[in-house]
Amino acid sequence: MNSGEILTAVLEGGDTIEYVFDANAPRGGMKHTFFTPDKKYAVQFFNNPADARNPRMQDRIRSIVGIYNPTLSEQDGGALGNTEKTAEYFRSRFCWPVAIVRSPEFGIVCPTYPQRFFFGADASSVLSLKGKDKKSNWFTGRNRRFLAPAELGDFRTMLTAAIGLSRTIRRMHQAGLAHSDLSCNNVLIDPKSGSAVVIDIDSLVVPNKYAPEVVGTRGYIAPEVLATMELDADDSRRCLPCVQTDLHALPVLIYEYLFLRHPLVGPKIYSAESAEQDDFLAMGPMATFIENPDDTSNRPPDLEVTIKSLSKGLERLFLRAFVDGLHDPAERPAAMEWETELLRAWERLIPCKNPQCSAKWFILRDESSPVCPFCKTKVTDKIIRLGFKSEMRGKKGVFREKSEVIAFDGKPLFDWHIFSNVHNDEKASTDMRAYIAKYNGMWLLVNNGAEGMTSPSGRLVPKGSAVELKDGAVFRMTDRENGLICEVSVT
């Protein structure tokens, strides 16, 4: 066969797909990849023919393509409880296999990544990156210096990527799956848009059914997995990739996105015997968080932006992940907890007024001393806080806190700011219902389509009208069922 020759693969079910043969096809650890003529799909075959013939491998992949698939609705044979809306949402967050190849040999078909996850010709003036995958370590370490400024995004887009990744992993874990090699290589990000996509899905671990095929990637392997790698696979002391090991890799990635550094790589020397032994101890049995408040032995001397620069909720999660849970998997926060706290932090995100600030946005932690942790620029505007409360079921007139928002000019509000029974997840509408605006020195909440919004005096606020956000103002976001009360505070 010659490169460029178009071949035909037969899929399970009898359909066919064409792909272009390439003598220099890209090869990963387990598979090599060809592309369809329109490059919309990748057709992948196993490097080792024995893997392709392995019935357990085939059974695992059939389950992943079918009953565990979050990118297919349950009606179409996908994951239990999945609707078409949620399936569509996760199609852009996972590069999930869509079909199984029966001939010329066992393989899989995956959609190719969206174009935004490939570098363009202008990504770097130093390196030739055109067409290369946007693996996340291009953006979170020293490699950043080689990239054009337009590629780097800002703190807000990196926080967006962290939210998207935590939601994607939460959905995967809800399906009973573990990735086994969650890392910078298998999560592509686009900081310009804040997008993230999880790839290499066919190696997923199905607990109690399909064992992991890989142990992970350096820097993301859980310490207990690294510390027991030399034991036999059937040794009960051997720790293998599972949901709990994903819950180490996930916060490592989130920490890298938010701080552009690795949480365990610091100045501490663990062994003078060899670089290999030092690295093994640093990432494995003696791993130490660089921001551990009780052990500063691995703390770099120049840390200015730290977990204390984030929300208190995120600070607590990072301490649970990298102090309590670093060597105790049972203590690690679940993906859903990361999603929840990242979303809460998002509501406290405000723009930095310094045009030279590299981060451009920051999480307002302390309303009494508002300052950008990245460039130390002080906030001179008043701090407007909106507290949303829901009425307790069966207790008319008794309310409890649901969420909060820190205002900035242009801040959008959605259904989860209007109704107590709507949450910011893959099921929610992204139609903007209201927005915050600064106009002639006043702060306003402008109704953009929330039915039944009322003013503090109880009058209806129709679409296009606004409520002034004065200190102490209380009003209804809607008078409909499950509507939220908004309380305004100004400092």
pLDDT digits 0-9 by tens, 76-112: 999 888 999 999 999 999 999 999 999 999 999 999 9
Rounded Cα–Cα distance for residues 441 and 213 (Å): 61
Give the pLDDT confidence of 376-420 residue by residue, as tens digits.
Answer: 999 999 999 999 999 888 677 778 999 999 999 999 999 999 999
424 dihedral zone (left: phi>0; alpha: psi -120 to 50; beta): beta
Q: Within a 10 A sphere around the Cβ of 408, how many other Cβ atoms?
A: 17
pLDDT of residue 400: 92
- Name all domains of the chain by residue range, CATH numbers in brackets: 1-112 (3.30.200), 117-347 (1.10.510.10), 381-490 (2.60.200.20)
Q: How far apart are the first and last CA of the chain?
A: 72
Model confidence pLDDT, tens digit, residues 247-277: 999 999 999 999 999 999 999 999 998 999 9
Is the omega angle on the peptide bond into residue 373 within 30 degrees of 0, that is, cis? Answer: no
Per-position DSSP letters for 55-114, written without gaps between them: HHHHHHHHHHHTTT-TTS-GGGT-STT--HHHHHHHHTTB----EEEEESSSEEEEEPPP
Q: For position 176, what pLDDT does the model report?
A: 86
Strand order in the sheet with 485-490: 399-406, 384-391, 485-490, 474-476
DSSP β-ladder status, 195-198 and 107-111: unpaired
Q: Is the pLDDT of residue 233 over 90?
A: no
Closest CA to 144 of 131, 156, 159, 129: 129
Residue 328's closest CA among 230, 247, 266?
247
What percentage of the chain exceeds 90 in pLDDT? Answer: 85
pLDDT class of 1 with cuts at 50, 70, 90: confident
Summarize the confidence of residues 209-213 as an average pLDDT. Answer: 70
Report DSSP state, residue 189.
E
Please state the pTM of the whole predicted model: 0.95
Specify the pLDDT at position 85.
Answer: 94
Residues near 453 by beta carbon (within 8 Å), at least 6 away in sequence = 434, 447, 460, 461, 467, 475, 476, 477, 478, 479
> CB–CB of 130/120 below 8 Å?
yes
Degrees to nearest 5, angle at CA 263 with 331 and 90: 70
CB-based contact 451:415 (threshold 8 Å): no
Reply yes or no on whether the pLDDT at 218 is more than 90.
yes
Across the range 329-338, mean pLDDT stands at 98
CB 329 within 8 A of CB 244: yes
Confidence of residue 214 (pLDDT cuts 50, 70, 90): confident
The residue type found at 316 is: R
CA dist list (Å): 401 to 350, 388, 391, 472, 487: 21, 6, 9, 16, 10
Residue bearing tokens 């501490």: 268
467, 484 Cβ separation under 8 angstroms: no
* Beta bridge mates, 41: 111
